[in-house]
Structure 1
Amino acid sequence: MKPVQRYQALRKASLKGLQAFEAAYMHRSFAAAAQELSITASAVSHAIQTLEEALGVLLFERARRGVVPTDEGARLYEVIRRSFGDIDEELRTILDRSSRQQVVTIQSAPSFAAIWIMPRLPAFLRAHPDLDVRLWAVHQAPDFSNSGVDVAVVYGKPPASAGVHVEPISRRERYLPVCSPKLVDGWTLPLPPSDIENFYLIQNDVSLTSWDEWIGRFAPACNSPVRGLRLDRAFMTLSAAENELGMCIESTVLVHDYLRQGRLVCPFGELAIEAAAHHLAVPKSREGLQAVRTVTDWIRSFADFDAV
């Protein structure tokens, strides 16, 4: 057989034809092979006939109650059995590897990454030495289709998508004023809202709320609040407040540890604005991966935010 003819013959030996041959060999019946492959018996017969024509040999002797493999058919079956076995083993290896994904890419709003993830990351990695975490601290919405991001903590609710599971980080996230305890040393807390005029106000320019909103709701008679720093990251406004540069208004998700550790206090008590600002987003196609589940469970377990 010339090389061109051999090539053309091999091209006709399709995967479907080989599958039909394997099933017919094992069952010794075209009808039983058809049932296994969910096709018709004539389709099995046609596939095998095409394969026989391509190879130039008979693979089965047709009998009244089934088919009997020829010597050529028996040799071909041994090759196919080994080959299909190798393919099956490799597919299982790939599937097992993907289901035990060990690299997880987290995209997080910068302040959440700085305040929550980074301080807890060393202990998490020690507890999961086989897990490789990649952390991207960016503000833009995650692109799960092209960027390789597996888990995202988003500031502001991400656009609705049928393929992405979204849940709030806290069911009762609120924005409330906080400051250094030294800033109100000697004052009786909680302060009346009108005392806001006695303090510098630090503003986060990318926040979902503002001092104007809080003042309009709780201290409408305040006509000239004293403005202070204007920053564009919550972790910077909280640092400024901790260093006694004024009061800031931030999310209970972000101020949780500061309050628990006594680094900041709530000078006006529980006068807060409710706003679901931080969300956990995970592609539904990756929720079942063990490594992704480990990371999302870790993020969910950070703290009881409602305790603030």
Structure 2
Amino acid sequence: MSFNHDIFHRIPVRGLQVFEAAARHLSFTRAADALGITQSAVSRQMSDLEKRLGVSLFVRSGPRIVLTRAGEVLFDRASRAFADLRAGVADCRVADGLSSVVTLSMLPSVAALWLAPRLEAFAEAHPEIDLRVSASRHLVSFEAEGIDLAIRYGTGNWPGVTAEFLASETVRPVCTPDYARRIGIGQPSDLLKATLIHPDTEEGWSAWFVAAGVVVDAVPSGPRFSDDTAALNAVLGHQAVFLGRSVLTARELEAGRIVAPFDIEVPASFSYWLVRPVGQEPSVACDSVRKWILRAFGRPAPDS
């Protein structure tokens, strides 16, 4: 089979990398998240790659994309090539003694709802780092428990640590579209006839009803969960309405699996912080994890 090497030399490797991510996720948005770029940048890269190749790689149908036959052929080869390259990068760093273990502590809900959907993106960015996640509700002891970094939820004034601000958040009611239709949620007072899951935070339903201008003698009782993951699972089961934290419900809202019937929000008392021990010189791997977390939260990642 003949091959035009001039075409190959005109194709940027970055374009192939973006194509491999888009084809693997079948979504320009999810590919953008994985690569840390914008959705429009992915779209531009794919248009340029198709123009250079002279073939269509995707069939676009609104937000959904499907590989063409040419796209399937290229993805088969590209996926294997980039898998080999990622493994090669990891292997060469191991051979040079640069592969490292980093232990990261956080709340179980943050691990399940914020970190877990981003683990693939982290692995792609840092194949040389062996990330260990310690999910716990107690305030960990860095030295005693072998923790390198922690994502904490609070006011940021813990003794003996350096805390970098990651994000503030708000709380607002969330439920599935099916539950909203079944209960007939059209105005804030309609929530009084719904099953309300009570959060394990200072911002409760009483504060939200005040913000919404709904006068209630007593907020209806309901189940209380100490973990947002369990509460969100109950919501996804079309069983209740929950006061969802904006950082932890963002992905489910974006995917349309849950909805926020009203735009009324209550600011949370606590924020997310990236924490490390004072005076401890971070390893290269630890600092790489730190910078990745800052970028994932949309914060600038300055030098150590």
TM-score by length of 1: 0.58
Amino acid at match of 2:105: Q
**1:107 pairs with 2:102:** no
Alignment of 1:1-308 (within 5 A): 102-157=100-155, 159-161=157-159, 163-170=160-167, 172-185=168-181, 191-204=186-199, 206-286=200-280, 288-304=282-298
User: Is the CA contact 1:151–1:282 (under 8 Å) kept in the aligned structure 2?
Assistant: yes
User: Is the CA contact 1:202–1:247 (under 8 Å) kept in the aligned structure 2?
Assistant: yes
Amino acid at match of 1:295: V
Give CA deviations for 1:30-60 in whole Å, capped at 9, x if unaligned: xxxxxxxxxxxxxxxxxxxxxxxxxxxxxxx
Amino acid at match of 2:193: N
Cα root mean square deviation, aligned:
2.8
Displacement of 1:243 after TM fit?
Answer: 1.5
CA distance in 2, matches of 1:168, 1:265: 28
The runs of at least 4 consecutive aligned structure 1 residues that moved more than 6 Å come to: 186-189
User: Is the CA contact 1:175–1:275 (under 8 Å) kept in the aligned structure 2?
Assistant: no
> Measured at CA, do residues 203 and 287 of structure 1 come closer, stay the same or move farther in structure 2, by a change above 3 Å?
farther
CA distance in 2, matches of 1:200, 1:186: 12
SS of the equivalent of 2:140 reads coil
User: Is the CA contact 2:163–2:275 (under 8 Å) kept in the aligned structure 1?
Assistant: yes
> Measured at CA, do residues 133 and 266 of structure 1 come closer, stay the same or move farther in structure 2, by a change above 3 Å?
same
Which structure 2 segments of 5+ residues have no match?
1-95, 300-304
CA distance in 2, matches of 1:211, 1:223: 12
Bigger Cα Rg: 1
Which structure 1 segments of 5+ residues have no match?
1-95
TM-score by length of 2: 0.59
How many percent of aligned residue pairs carry the same amino acid?
A: 29
Displacement of 1:246 after TM fit?
Answer: 1.1
User: Is the CA contact 1:101–1:289 (under 8 Å) kept in the aligned structure 2?
Assistant: no
User: Is the CA contact 2:196–2:223 (under 8 Å) kept in the aligned structure 1?
Assistant: yes
Displacement of 1:286 after TM fit?
Answer: 4.4
